[in-house]
């Protein structure tokens, strides 16, 4: 659903660019809390979200290369908003998808540069917000089981894709450059993206389910799934015996030793290997049919004023390495480069966010430590 240059006029493109900038700024602040586990109590795995967030972005980039057929002459691909929000949190999820869209637009000429605000608004903000809101609602009413997380992931991902299609239709109604009846655009976009949503739901549910099966503590959406331990007195008391005097409650940390931290390295390596396999190998077998937006645009004339991409002559344009004739090698190498670049940029962004959060917390602690208390004032 990458919108090219020329589909949406300049005023709406500028407006969505401003909206995307505000959303990214808000997400930067929210991601600091998510990456540090703020507000999540002592949930295991909270402190390990930061090194995995860059991997999530790289994985989404890789899986987006795997177009799957959904109808005659039409394909679809993962959008990734639901997957990112559930794995690493909604704010961090917006940033993950935004990093992917930026890398695709700059390096691979996929999605217009003047339409970057449109694409972030549609594919990063709308999908993430809709998916995570629905996911949280479902988790609250479903039984507290791991399978419920997978079911909620499936449903929220399924709905997020047609929601993005509806959002594009709204943006096109405001600033479309071709004279196309908006009713036809809505019907065509919603219809094909319901089918694409099924593929999105399957990929999201399988990925979330796989991570939950081995490390549920690493899934942001599964935090709090395990009920806390409760200390209960024994009901077996002799008849007529007086109850034992209540003991002074001991700190939980002293009564129940903290579980040792588990390394996320194996999960990270497995995810990175899966991303390389998808982008470097399986992408060769992806459907060559146009995706949902491309098909609708061609059939209904939305692309009448489409413009060439500013980086159409870049060495990696169209997900192939320039001057390499073998399509399998060219596409696979481009995919591997894309995974590496997205991983590097994404990880760098999230490391900086996490360090700024840690530095701010340390500063507040130091400032508080220097203040006199009522007892020693």
Q: 294-320, pLDDT tens digit by residue?
A: 999 999 999 999 999 999 999 999 999
Per CATH, the number for 10-225+264-361 is: 1.10.1760.20
Across 47-61, 187-201, 326-340, least confident range? 47-61
- pLDDT tens across 151-199, in order? 999 999 999 999 999 999 999 999 999 999 999 999 999 999 999 999 9
- For residues 207 and 275, the answer to whether their CB atoms sit within 8 Å is no
| CB proximity list for 344: less than 8 A, separation 6 or greater | 54
Q: How far apart are CA 94 and CA 126, in angstroms?
A: 9
Share of the chain above pLDDT 70, in %: 81
Question: Within 13 Å, how many C-alpha atoms sit on residue 206's CB side?
Answer: 8
Angle at 298 between CA 292 and CA 300, to 5 degrees: 95
Across 104-118, 140-154, 353-367, least confident range? 353-367
Across 100-104, 247-251, 278-282, 303-307, least confident range? 247-251
Q: How far apart are CA 295 and CA 75, in angstroms?
A: 9
Domain parsing of the chain, residue ranges: 10-225+264-361
For 22-47, what is the mean pLDDT?
A: 72
Across 126-135, 141-150, 210-219, 246-255, least confident range? 246-255
- pLDDT tens across 240-275, in order? 555 555 555 444 344 434 445 677 889 999 999 999
The per-residue pLDDT of the chain, averaged, comes to: 86
Question: Within 13 Å, how many C-alpha atoms sit on residue 179's CB side?
Answer: 0
Q: How far apart are CA 35 and CA 23, in angstroms?
A: 17
- pLDDT tens across 115-135, in order? 999 999 999 999 999 999 999
Q: How far apart are CA 31 and CA 53, in angstroms?
A: 10
Beta-bridge mates of residue 176: 8
Residue 359 pLDDT > 90: no
Tokens at 250, concatenated: 């001991």
- For residues 87 and 69, the answer to whether their CB atoms sit within 8 Å is no
Tokens at 11, concatenated: 């005023």
The confidence score (pLDDT) of residue 256 equals 39
- For residues 356 and 32, the answer to whether their CB atoms sit within 8 Å is yes
For 1-8, what is the mean pLDDT?
A: 95
Tokens at 326, concatenated: 């073998």
37: left (phi over 0), alpha (psi -120 to 50) or beta: left
The residue whose two tokens read 């999530």 is 56
Distances (CA, A) of 299 to 48, 184, 185, 288, 302: 46, 10, 10, 17, 8
242: left (phi over 0), alpha (psi -120 to 50) or beta: beta
The confidence score (pLDDT) of residue 57 equals 97
The confidence score (pLDDT) of residue 291 equals 96
Chain centroid to Cα 82, Å, comes to 6
Reduced to 3 states (helix: H, G, I; strand: E, B; else coil), residue 8 is strand
Q: How far apart are CA 195 and CA 285, in angstroms?
A: 20
Q: Which of 228, 222, 275 is nearest to 60 (CA)?
A: 275
For 138-154, what is the mean pLDDT?
A: 95
For 85-112, what is the mean pLDDT?
A: 97
Higher pLDDT, 372 or 82: 82
Tokens at 236, concatenated: 């077996």
For 329-343, what is the mean pLDDT?
A: 97
Q: How far apart are CA 79 and CA 111, in angstroms?
A: 13
- For residues 346 and 41, the answer to whether their CB atoms sit within 8 Å is no
The confidence score (pLDDT) of residue 354 equals 82
């Amino acid at each position: 659903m990458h919108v090219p240059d020329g589909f949406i006029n300049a005023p709406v493109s500028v407006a969505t660019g401003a909206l995307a900038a505000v959303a990214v700024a808000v997400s930067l602040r929210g991601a600091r809390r998510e990456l540090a586990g703020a507000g999540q109590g002592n949930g295991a795995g909270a402190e390990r979200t930061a090194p995995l967030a860059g991997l999530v972005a790289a994985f989404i980039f890789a899986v987006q290369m795997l177009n799957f057929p959904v109808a005659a002459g039409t394909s679809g691909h993962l959008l990734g908003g639901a997957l990112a929000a559930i794995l690493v949190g909604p704010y961090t999820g917006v940033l993950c998808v935004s990093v992917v869209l930026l890398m695709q637009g700059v390096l691979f000429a996929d999605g217009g540069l003047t339409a970057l605000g449109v694409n972030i608004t549609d594919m990063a903000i709308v999908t993430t917000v809709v998916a995570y809101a629905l996911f949280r609602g479902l988790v609250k009413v479903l039984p507290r089981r791991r399978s419920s997380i997978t079911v909620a992931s499936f449903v929220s991902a399924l709905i997020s894709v047609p929601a993005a299609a509806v959002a594009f239709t709204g943006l096109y109604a405001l600033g479309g450059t071709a004279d196309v009846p908006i009713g036809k655009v809505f019907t065509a976009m919603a219809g094909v993206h319901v089918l694409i949503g099924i593929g999105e739901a399957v990929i999201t549910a399988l990925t979330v389910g796989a991570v939950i099966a081995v490390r549920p503590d690493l899934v942001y959406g599964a935090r709090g799934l395990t009920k806390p331990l409760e200390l209960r007195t024994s009901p077996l008391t002799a008849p007529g015996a007086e109850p034992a005097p209540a003991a002074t409650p001991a700190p939980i940390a002293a009564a129940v030793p903290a579980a040792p931290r588990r390394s996320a390295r194996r999960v990270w390596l497995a995810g990175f290997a899966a991303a390389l396999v998808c982008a470097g190998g399986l992408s060769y077998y992806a459907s060559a049919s146009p995706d949902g937006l491309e098909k609708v645009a061609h059939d209904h004339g939305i692309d009448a004023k489409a413009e060439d991409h500013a980086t159409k002559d870049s060495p990696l344009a169209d997900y192939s390495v320039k001057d390499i004739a073998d399509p399998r090698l060219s596409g696979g190498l481009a995919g591997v480069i894309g995974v590496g670049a997205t991983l590097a940029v994404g990880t760098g962004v999230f490391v900086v966010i996490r360090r700024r959060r840690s530095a701010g917390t340390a500063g507040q602690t130091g400032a508080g430590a220097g203040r006199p208390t009522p007892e020693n004032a």
